[in-house]
Structures are given as structure tokens and as C-alpha cells.
Amino acid sequence: MEVNGKVAVVTGGANGIGRAICEKLSEAGAKVAVADIDESAAASTADLVGGMWRRVDVSVESDVMALVADSEDELGPVDLFFANAGIAMEGDPWTSDGEWQRIWETNTMSHVYTARAVLPGMLERGSGYLVHTSSAAGLLNQLGSAPYAVTKHAVVAFAEWLSITYGDRGLKVSVIAPQAVRTAMTDALVAGPQSVAAIDGMMEPDEVADIVLEGVRAERFLILPHQEVAEYIVRKATDYDRWLAGMRRLQARLSEENPVP
């Protein structure tokens, strides 16, 4: 899909990857709606790209519905929706139910709410594009964070289902799955003793945004800013037990190199 002249909504658009995507979309001629829970940063990004902004908590369905309605009232029918907002945390089976629920609603249910909000119009028009930000953790895993790994896997599964179910009715779907990107959110996952995310290098948001727009133009389902991830997926699928053993070795090595004080 060529983005020039299209209406694009970006959640988590105030900072990091989202802000960079907003900038690249605007440069390419799209009309941009910036959504974020950070009001001042959202307004700043909107001013930069000449777009509109709304304060949105993506874990609240009514906020997502209102965002789409406001965007269509102000800019026109939504052609592209970048479901980019997300949070990160460390965690395991003993992480509190409240924290598990918080990351589930933000990282996974927000994508469901997005689909509910935009699919009727897109399917009626016979065209539309959903771009879901997952993570390499959604294809592989995330050492030190069961909640993050689980919710990002769910994003990939939901996006696959949307593409399978509606791809022949004009809906395009992509999943962005980077490893470490230099953002405030990533700091929560790469600063600890099991910081596997940065093992293949830290990318800048602008670099990721360029790759994302190229992937959207090519209508690729899986957009991998870190190309190494493609090789890791093959290894995982080829010999699951060997891959799991390798991940355990990596976890042990990182723990030895970065002991907890």
C-alpha cells in the first residue's frame, strides 16, 4: 500500500517507534492521528507532523472506539491503523494477577479493540491495513519476562488470524517484530541481568520506522527490523528441543556475566 494521501492512526505515537512512524508517514504524505497516554508528548508529535492527537489509554475499549470516531470525523476513513502502544515488565508465574492483567489488556486486548473499531468500515470499503507492533519476543521468547513473551505471542497469533480470515476481503495485515530498539520502554527489558534483547545490537527508532514503511508498501506480513530473527525462527521450527536447550544456555551465560547484586 502506498501511504501518500492515506489516513493513518498510530497508538503509542508520542515517543519511540511510534513517534518515528508518525514522522515517516507525514513525510510520505499521509494524514496522521497521534494517540498516546502521554498528552504533552502526543501534542508535540502532532504539531511536528501536522496531524491531530488524542489522549488514549489503549487498554480501555471506549478510548480506542472514540479515537477511531474522532479520526474519521477530522481526517476521513481510517486506511492504516498502527497498533503500536505497549508496555514491558519483568515477570514470572508469581507476578501479581493485577500486573498480568495490566500487560494483557495493554499489549493484547488493545489489538482486539482496534479490530472491533476499524474492521467494519474497512471490510465495507474492501480495503484497509492493520499494522501490529509485536516483538521478536512474540516469535521467540523473552528471558526474564513471561508476561511480555506471552502477550507478544498473542499479538502475532491474532494478526495471523485476521489475515487468514479477512485477507481475501481487502484487509492487509502486518506484524512488526524488532529486537532491541532504543526507547524508554525497551530499557525495562534490556537493563537487567538477562538482557538478551540487545544481543544483536540496538536499533534507533528512525531506522525501524524506515523498515516499517518499506514493509507496508510491500504489504509484507512479517516485518523484521533485525534480520537475524528470521534465522532464529528457522532454528526454532527446525529443532524445537535444541532451540530450547540453546536458550537455557544463553540464559545461564547472561546470568553469569551479569550477576544480581
Distances (CA, A) of 179 to 202, 225, 261: 8, 8, 26
Cell numbers that stand for 82 in this block = 498502527
- Residue 124 in any domain: the answer is yes
Looking at this protein, which amino acid is placed at residue 246?
Answer: G
pLDDT at res. 194? 44
pLDDT at res. 85? 97
Q: Could you list the residue range(s) of the whole structural domain that residue 29 is in?
A: 7-228
- Residue 257 in any domain: the answer is no
- Residue 206 in any domain: the answer is yes
- Residue 236 in any domain: the answer is no
- Count of structural domains, the chain: 1
- Residue 248 in any domain: the answer is no
Residue 34's CATH number: 3.40.50.720
pLDDT at res. 159? 98
Catalytic residues: 148
- Residue 95 in any domain: the answer is yes
- Residue 234 in any domain: the answer is no
User: What pLDDT, in 10s, does the model give residues 226-240?
Assistant: 999 999 999 999 999
Looking at this protein, which amino acid is placed at residue 205?
Answer: P
Asked whether the beta carbons of 135 and 180 are under 8 A apart, the reply is no
pLDDT at res. 193? 40
Q: d(Cα 197, Cα 225) in Å, to the nearest integer?
A: 13
Asked whether the beta carbons of 147 and 100 are under 8 A apart, the reply is yes
**Helices marked H in the chain:** 16-27, 39-49, 61-74, 97-104, 110-125, 146-166, 184-190, 205-218, 228-238, 240-257
pLDDT at res. 182? 85
Q: d(Cα 236, Cα 153) in Å, to the nearest integer?
A: 14
pLDDT at res. 197? 58
Cell numbers that stand for 149 in this block = 513473551
Cell numbers that stand for 180 in this block = 532491541
What's the pTM value of the predicted model, to 2 decimals? 0.93
Residues in Cβ contact with 139 at an 8 Å cutoff, skipping those fewer than 6 apart = 153, 156, 177, 229, 232, 233
Low-confidence stretches of the chain (pLDDT beneath 70): 184-200, 258-261
pLDDT at res. 261? 47
- Residue 252 in any domain: the answer is no
CA triple 13-14-15, angle to 5 deg: 100
Give me the helix-helix angle, 110-125 and 146-166, nearest 10°. 10
User: What pLDDT, in 10s, does the model give residues 143-193?
Assistant: 999 999 999 999 999 999 999 999 999 999 999 999 988 876 665 554 454
